[in-house]
Structure 1
């Protein structure tokens, strides 16, 4: 897995740190509510064992529904904030790239290739937006989910908790194994797309010359070759993704089945109440989604990091021809006659 460029990420998020902090605070509230709901369900189920009144059940159900509604609203608010930051950075970055391109000499675009420049200004900028929006939100939510859920699970039954999450290190090993490969394949796909776009742009610009000199078959062969390279790069990346995500979901499902198998034995022996087992199941199911999503989140993070480096490489380029901001007037005014 490539080195994480936190310095670049912080630099782009710094102007929006207030919004990001509010979004993170909203995520903390969401995760606190998501932990409190299973604990409330546990208490309600255990209270039902000794008899109950319909009014009490309806009141507890209404409280659970209210907490879930508040949690959904706050979650939506947090996503609007963090995703909005990604959109704002995307708009600012596109404007920055446009202003920067206006300063470059014409020969640089011809040397670099218009397709490469367009690829970095469009698809790479979109990947940066996903990095600073979706990836940041998802990683923060995953950290908070584990930090708040695991203590609650350990307070119910430490042994069952360790058995349920014991397979999760295997999941992280799988992510680490596939992460570097996906990052390299993503970079090759982006480079292949840039090369293909460059050829299309050149052919469209010089279509008259192609027809005059009868170079249609040559250009078709060149397009087929680059298109084949892009197809192979995309298929390799798709194969890696289609292998990684089912593996993560399968490991998560096995941990839930292990909890059910071991928890039913503890339930029969009386060391665990029905409410405890239900709460543990809810907690494990709560961790399944962020853990299974970890692979996609990590892929988005790595893809965005590659794109961020490509955009930074474009912005670091200094023009060879620089107009002076304060031109010096000639010592003597010029004179001439017609």
Structure 2
């Protein structure tokens, strides 16, 4: 694929760290600068900014296969998860994978749920009659492993459990439908290439029994008629779970999401996986087998100490749980992979010497 996407991306480093933060496309940067200038100069256009929120909501819905009426917007995954946690009865069992990302599980621990953790590969078979909810990331942040979502969903339905899937490390490259689960959450600042402050929650058409605990005026059916006193007519759609948007994040995020929604999702996924497989083969040839997973996120035991050498050479990756973690997206190339492997080969040789 044309990874330049019409000149939208021009990284000055070998950037292989989308699992930590995606790159902003040029169109998002330009819109952000324009909006910041408007606010600085007293030309604030609140109506236009809310239109950007609407556009982002719609684009995200297209990306994950649900109508915008089922999408709520907010600032962070943990705030969305807290709504789900708050709807559970005290002591309810929440099943999750070991070493799951903290934002997905901590709200349940804080609200008094009983967290039961099992290995990711055992999650489906661990669902039982007493399980109220299964919470899992589609793609694991730590090491890129992919959850068996069809098996987990089927097991949850058999036992009457609900499902909450975190799409943060999946949406934008990995095909998944939010319609297959009761709830999904997704931070937009990684594979969706938005600024921090853009996050999504999808709910069933009936709201899934959630209470809009942080509802403000934007959650009203007619927001501009809900600005004083308690909101008496919450929005009929998932918008009743909206948080008041941080406009600058959404102005930029709308452009990123529209860009992604206009591309071939299967082509992006194939491109990302092709690069990840090239990297997997390269580090394995150096004597460092990566964590087994056919994923755009590659984690490698034994190479966490190479992070400094990579950074000094202008190659951006991350270290998570002692593992060197690389992540590949539409703005990356084979040359990026080979550059990283060259640096790692040198660093590994120096360490062995």
Report the TM-score range of the alignment, normalised by the length of the smaller protein.
Answer: under 0.3
Q: Larger radius of gyration, structure 1 or 2? A: 1
TM-score by length of 1: 0.23
Give the strand-richer structure, 1 or 2.
Answer: 2
Give the helix-richer structure, 1 or 2.
Answer: 1
Which one scores higher on RCO, CA 8 angstroms, separation ≥ 6? 1
